[in-house]
Amino acid sequence: MPELPEVETTRRGIEPACLGQSITKVIVRQRSLRWPIPKGIEQKLKGAIFRKVSRRAKYLLLEIARNTAHNNHATIILHLGMTGTFRVLEQGTPAEKHDHIDILLDNDTLLRFRDPRRFGAFILTTEPPKQHPLLKNLGIEPVLYGHTAEDVAEHLYAQSRKRKTSIKSFLMNQKIITGVGNIYACESLFLSSIHPKRACNKISKQRYLELARAIISTLTTSIKQGGTTLQDFRNSEGKPGYFQQQLLVYGRENEPCTECGSTIRKITQNQRSTWYCPRCQH
């Protein structure tokens, strides 16, 4: 599943192509995504100009100005689902089976949303994005929003005091902290030497600071590498991410730990696989 680094990589890729550009046409080939795409959205988007491309957690926010007398500003909320991509292509590029939405721009390019499993979302809203039900309850952003490691650590420590869940499950709760999916949770816990089954309320403030630094470092490095490609993810140019070449524990069951040489183990937590080093993490 595309996680925060993959979504941020996509955001950076499409931003130069669409900012200030006008939408000349929208083609919807498949309306049955996670939430159905309403009929008439093509007409609502035609003529709109892209004003800003941002991100909240794993959601892309494409802010547009529409040529209407009222409700001039709107936002496309886009989620890549489990296997989706949002790419910049030349107009006239033939559509393939899972290419569900094309947004044609007046610079002869198009934005194409591809989603083989159709778990993604394409939503047009006129309300402020922060107030939308999908976004309003999301947790702290660990990178790129001005939060320091100390800010993130203080937040995690405070949120954990009355919880007994495992630290791995705690990190993957998007209402607490956004964008730390399975890959980055495993890697961050390894870098901060924290066992994934340790109760989140049994971790000290100092160790939360070490964990926050690991989270920020891991996500930042992954963004620089273009994300992690394990199956389907491609960036806006159709290229894979390369962070998987630097994974220390994720997907490395029975391989030697890069730090101590012990055998990496794999367990299941909340129906998700977790990889860790039994010697380094405690």
Binding site: what residues are annotated? 98, 117, 163
Q: Rounded to an integer, what distance in angstroms lies between the CA atom of residue 67 and that of residue 51?
A: 13
**Choosing from 3, 141, 187, 210, which is the catalytic residue?**
3
Find out whether 273 and 253 touch, Cβ atoms under 8 Å.
Answer: no
The verdict on whether 2 is a catalytic residue reads: yes
- Residue 157, both tokens: 């420590």
- Indicate the annotated binding residues for DNA: 98, 117, 163
Q: Is 261 left (phi over 0), alpha (psi -120 to 50) or beta?
A: left
Find out whether 8 and 223 touch, Cβ atoms under 8 Å.
Answer: yes
Find out whether 74 and 124 touch, Cβ atoms under 8 Å.
Answer: yes
**Choosing from 2, 5, 129, 142, which is the catalytic residue?**
2
**Choosing from 197, 239, 266, 272, which is the catalytic residue?**
272
CA of residue 14 relative to chain centroid, distance: 15
Alpha helices in the chain (DSSP H): 4-18, 41-45, 149-160, 167-171, 182-191, 205-224
The verdict on whether 36 is a catalytic residue reads: no
**How crowded is the C-beta side of 216, counted as CA atoms within 13 Å?**
20
- Residue 126, both tokens: 């006129």
**Choosing from 11, 55, 56, 58, which is the catalytic residue?**
58
The verdict on whether 3 is a catalytic residue reads: yes
Find out whether 264 and 190 touch, Cβ atoms under 8 Å.
Answer: no
Instruction: Supply the residues annotated as catalytic.
Output: 2-3, 58, 272
